[in-house]
């Protein structure tokens, strides 16, 4: 058995690694925002996008932990030679921070071509954001919903532009429980994560629908969602059991670089120039759960999200 495992190991790893983004698209002069890019797949996505082109892209790492983000940015700058890897403060668990980030960005930056809503929390004990939202819903869905709303016009002005929402295969286990959206009546942290990832898929679907006909260059302004794969990262840090299992079975998990491939693919692949409202895994279209294709739920979630955030987004 040990011999067989040794022989099979390279093939197992190749299978686990999944698809790779083969696009050589350049991002000369483009401006990119990646949330939560101080670690994991966000950091690897930033590393890849920072080195695409002679006239490097301006990659903005939007994170809550500034110190950790500065270390990541310095590492990427040193490796890629791109000094336009910039750190900005953004706490998705606080709508005041989100608004301040957007206000400063719009005042300082005249362009935005790619927004990658990557940051997320997983398996949190029951807790609430600064605005009283259940943490998974607040950070994974509502935080990115508000951020996208605030930056949408700048993206439209700079088309071709893309919005990339990092969801998960876990959306298959989710449902939008409008009667208990904040989990106050019944809470399971694993299911709460699944619910928030389903919200990502539904948000992407409804956003893409609403973008149709809203821009003179609508075919060049897209929104897609993705599953990065099971990645060995810090995302499971709130669960001792999952952290332990992740370490034991790390050989069967994607590395952050491997997990970043579909995010990169959705951000740069030429064949996706006019593809919107879709869901990808391993750099190819993937199956969406029936709940993730429910247009009525997507519309209602949009309306409820606007109400919770106190915004009007028609």
CB atoms within 10 A of CB 143: 28
Residue 2 lies inside a defined structural domain of this protein: no
What's the pLDDT score for residue 244? Answer: 54
Q: Determine how many CB atoms are found less than 10 A away from the CB of residue 307.
A: 10
Instruction: Answer yes or no: is 30 within a domain.
Output: yes
Bridge partner residues of 61 (DSSP):
34, 87
Query: Looking at residue 300, what is its pLDDT?
Result: 98
Question: Taking the chain (314 residues) in consecutive chunks of 10 residues, what is each chunk's mean pLDDT?
Answer: 55 70 96 96 97 89 97 97 97 98 97 97 95 98 98 96 97 97 96 98 97 61 93 59 58 84 98 97 98 98 98 94
Euclidean distance between CA atoms 251 and 120, whole angstroms: 23
On whether the CB atoms of residues 198 and 171 are closer than 8 A, the answer is: yes
**Which pTM value belongs to this model?**
0.91
Task: Give the model's pLDDT for residue 9.
Answer: 56
The helix, strand and coil proportions of the chain, stated in percent and rounded to the nearest 5, come to 50, 15, 35
Kindly tell me the burial class for residue 312, based on how many C-beta atoms sit within 10 Å of its own C-beta (0-12, 13-18, 19 or more): exposed
Q: Does 9 reside within a domain?
A: no
Q: What is the pLDDT of residue 311?
A: 98
In whole angstroms, what is the distance from residue 161 CA to residue 157 CA? 9
pLDDT for residue 218:
47
Q: Are 222 and 275 in contact (CB under 8 A)?
A: yes
pLDDT attached to residue 314: 86
* 193 tagged catalytic: yes
Instruction: Give helix 144-157 / helix 295-309 axis angle, nearest 10°.
Output: 100
pLDDT at 245: 58
Q: Quote the longest CA-to-CA distance of the chain.
A: 62
Domain annotation covers residue 13: no
- 221 within domain boundaries: yes
Q: Which structural domain, as residue segments, surrounds residue 197?
A: 19-309
Cβ atoms of 90 and 33 within 8 Å: the answer is no
Q: Which of 160, 152, 174, 167 is nearest to 263 (CA)?
A: 167
Residue 10 lies in a domain: no
Number of structural domains the chain divides into: 1
pLDDT in tens, 253-267: 888 999 999 999 999
pLDDT for the residue numbered 93: 98
Q: Cα separation of 121 and 236, whole Å?
A: 8
Mean pLDDT of the chain: 91
Cα separation, 189 vs 215, in Å, equals 39
How many CB atoms are closer than 10 A to CB 190? 14
Q: What is the domain-level CATH number for residue 241?
A: 3.40.50.720
Q: Which of 15, 126, 193, 265 is catalytic?
A: 193
Q: What is the pLDDT of residue 213?
A: 60
What does the alpha-carbon distance between residue 238 and residue 136 come to, in Å, rounded to a whole number?
Answer: 12
Q: Residue 203 domain-assigned?
A: yes
Assigned domain for 1 exists:
no
pLDDT in the model for residue 91? 98
């Amino acid at each position: 058995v040990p011999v067989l495992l040794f022989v099979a190991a390279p093939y197992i790893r190749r299978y686990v690694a999944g698809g790779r983004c083969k696009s050589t698209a350049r991002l000369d002069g483009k401006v990119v925002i990646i949330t939560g890019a101080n670690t994991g797949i966000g950091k690897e996505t930033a590393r890849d996008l920072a080195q695409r082109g002679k006239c490097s892209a301006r990659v903005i790492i939007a994170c809550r932990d500034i110190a950790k983000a500065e270390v990541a940015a310095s590492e990427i700058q040193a490796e890629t030679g791109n000094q336009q890897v910039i750190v900005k403060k953004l706490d998705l668990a606080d709508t005041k921070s989100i608004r301040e980030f957007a206000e400063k960005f719009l005042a300082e930056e005249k362009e935005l071509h790619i927004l990658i809503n990557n940051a997320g929390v997983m398996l949190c004990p029951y807790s609430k954001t600064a605005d009283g939202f259940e943490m998974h819903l607040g950070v994974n869905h509502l935080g990115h919903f508000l951020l996208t709303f605030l930056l949408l016009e700048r993206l439209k002005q700079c088309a071709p532009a893309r919005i990339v929402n990092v969801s998960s295969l876990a959306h298959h286990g989710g449902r939008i429980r409008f009667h208990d959206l904040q989990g106050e009546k019944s809470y399971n942290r694993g299911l709460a994560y699944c619910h928030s990832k389903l919200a990502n898929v539904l948000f992407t679907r409804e956003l893409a629908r609403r973008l149709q006909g809203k821009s003179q260059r609508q075919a060049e302004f897209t929104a897609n969602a993705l599953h990065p794969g099971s990645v060995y990262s810090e995302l499971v840090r709130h669960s001792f059991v999952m952290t332990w299992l992740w370490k034991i079975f790390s050989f069967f998990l994607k590395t952050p670089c491997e997990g970043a491939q579909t995010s990169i693919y959705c951000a740069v692949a030429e064949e996706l120039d006019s593809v919107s409202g879709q869901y990808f895994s391993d750099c190819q279209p993937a199956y969406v759960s029936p709940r993730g294709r429910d247009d009525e739920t997507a519309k209602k979630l949009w309306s409820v999200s606007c109400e919770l955030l106190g915004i009007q987004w028609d």
